[in-house]
Amino acid sequence: MGKMSVDLCGITLDNPVIPASGTFGYGYEFAELYDINILGTFSFKGTTKDPRFGNPTPRIAECTAGMINAVGLQNPGVEKVISEELPKMRKVFHKKVMANVSGFSVEDYAYTCEKLDKCEEVGWLEVNVSCPNVHGGGMSFGTSPEAAAEVTKAVKKVTTKPVIIKLSPNVTDIVSIAKACEEAGADGISLINTLLGMRIDLKTKKPVIANKMGGFSGSAIFPVAVRMVYQVANAVNIPVVGMGGVSSAEDVIEMMLAGATAVEIGAANLVDPFASRDIINALPEVMEKYKINSLSEIIGGAK
């Protein structure tokens, strides 16, 4: 069998497959279906400083080869995540986990990351800069290199663990933003978050989602994700975590050839709760088919 392990910011993963934040909760519901320790790791539900109920319903719209969601970062807030969710998670998952963090100000990000950095089970902080900057007029921190760098610096100042900045694809120049994060001290970059999408109900002639627009994910966005991962991986010297429409072992290989060190699985988990497990189980056969002895050797191989 080929070697599936990879090194992500100094921590070894048994394989590169990581369920993406927002599609895997805190893991314990999936642990009732299979042993989730088969995973490389997983990124748990996006955590904010304060509790959030999320957006009004309906929050989900179906699309051809994908879905649109506008859940709105529903979570119990960092204090409860640490006191209630992580102890439950620890019982079923025995590896380092990725903590996904969102915020509405630089201070929010720093506060939440500092708290989660102290948790033993947290291996990496995945900082989602796709959130609205409430002090900057509502545009997300991830739409400007300066704002993304500011968040990166603030988080790095109060943490000791690897910081991976999760970027939005809803920009014209993702490379400049990734490079700004690297220069500000980021240990890794993850991309892409969802594209902005919308559906309209022909009967009511109104948007399907109460929020009008939401995050478009699923296999339809895979080529965009591969392109952006390739661009960023060729521009920075830190690891890239690739995601966006990944739904098979072949997709994982393609994403790694584009430059991803590890690969997150998002919407596929919502369609099939066994998706991540099945992708991991299929990897050895796909590696053999394409004569790949070690996954770490193919990272960025598509030149």
User: Looking at residue 194, what DSSP letter applies?
Assistant: P
Strand partners, 201: 206
In whole angstroms, give the CA distance from residue 103 to residue 142: 12
Task: Label residue 47 exposed, middle or buried (CB < 10 Å: 0-12, 13-18, 19+).
Answer: buried
The residues, ordered by sequence, that sit 6+ positions from 149 with a Cβ below 8 Å of its Cβ are 180, 181, 183, 184
DSSP label at 58? P
Greatest alpha-carbon span in the chain: 55
Q: Are 9 and 294 in contact (CB under 8 A)?
A: no
Residue 9 annotated in active site: no
Catalytically annotated residue among 9, 113, 131, 181 = 131
Which positions are annotated as active-site residues? 131
